[in-house]
Chains A and B, each alone.
Chain A
């Protein structure tokens, strides 16, 4: 067992492209040292078992990875002290406050409301001339409206939110002043909203968090405000772009799309396969080792940056047979698209319901759904955090 000291140059694949073939880059090693495009040195973890082992091991710290001086601009920078940037026991205390609102059972109860929003958005789309921009008319408003209703945020503020979250999560290459301004404005919005909800409590998650603060002192005022900001951002572009990228994948595989049209009962299984195959962003959130740790045949020294490559792990041939084949009938639910361990995506069950209802609606109500421009003309926003499409022009019905 030796410390591997020769970093390989690593560039994340471009949006819409499959993850890089690690058999070529790393010689198939599940854990290897790499030089990232920005010059940082990190250990990349690509094997399915190694990724799972890593993310459930508390010696891989998120708090250290988002600490001042180490955090990257954008989402990482604002994650310090939040549920995505803390370790147990702080993380457990914060996560428990919101976990119950996002469990499979609670989210299942929201399914009729999600389906109703899907239906309203498709009604509006079909009432206007084609082509439609699916981003603006469907994939973004759906998750945005759902999370706003959960938090008790007025629907009229949706567009403003989108501008803020776009700046914070959409583009890490942007001027960091612009990112900070957006983060400060979003924070200020929630300071005011929380004041208003204190005066007029409602049946929503923001009010429940206020009660956890005021009645039981279970989180600070800052943690309360940051939690609301984090939930709003995390619930926004992630699901929206999963809808976009999933649709592109389906349109690229007409046989698979036909199978779903013929049997909508396949949609839940298909959503898991779409999650397995779709790569939502650039590099996933990093960890820093608190100790020398053996992983995947190497020893990672303490204090090193380590990044789990979920999308590559989701194509590990030892777990998924013929992993590059997209198959909506595959039993793919053991994928790592939502991560694992204490940072397992809080909104995973909500995202599943949203994706299932989105595709039930798009496939059931828009026969002949297709791109209105060549796929090669689609533009992703710059930046690396989320592969965010500017527009997704679509048509449907008879050609």
Chain B
């Protein structure tokens, strides 16, 4: 008897010790590992026309001269950047071992997006330091500690001008500034609804959700928000596609308890992705025809269809999915596929266009190495990488709406569902 081995897929991303002979050797081994892996396993054997041998000939001597681990990482990052694709990264050992990388595990409970060049508070978690300090949506974050936000925004906007990654990179950079060690105090300067500058001393607290780790991905908090936004409209928000057992159980309960609802909303705004196969699992609750696909994953030696397996009693009513520029990877696969199938209407703003399925492996120097193993094309024939999912209804937040505590995308989705009755 032979055994069928179940297949698993995954997806995610970023510092100096003095160079020793051992470190020099492991850095060179890491260089060779990265170079060879890209050569042998990158989904595009032509590497977009890049002369990979010439890259090695030019950059390996640089690695031989690297004096610190930080320099070695920078060389590897530069080499990977030449590929001009997402999901190519070196994950420093320290980042992999700390929760949430540079920012620390503590949160203020503030979600921020850059709108019109300003970092505006778009949501505040209940029972969070920000909620207790009276911070409100629509306020602008202008400084954290002694560091102003504006120069950082200007630099990132310039770097990512014209790129679908702009909002994702802005959101990540500001998010890191709004995280720190639990119990640590920080000062944040805001501009409130009446254009007054206010300083608030805030203490970083434990993030909501449960801490989970998958493979060499950094530990992350998985947060679920399942509720009714109207008595007859279900809502499920998810911050990252991880911890499938808990997430799928919560999702199942949310959908089943809403079987007679007028409509259902899935919110993946700010969700950077995670385990790609979870998109198929969630989609199974909304599709009843066997054989439907979210899209196709093109590996170097094979093609995998992201097939949806319908549940016994899927939800047949209108489905709205909320996305924004910080929705990436699995979020895009989920939203883009159901949009192409005509099964969901998408609300919000264009997604990040960072949708290459990837794996993370351990390098000889202990760092994590993420590389894409496939290209992903959604069911409508569009490659999501560099393009993203374009919503059916563009509903971007504005300062005025946020100050009125309105959620533009959510409101638009609710309105659409309410007008679907009887159609």
Q: Do A and B bind each other?
A: no
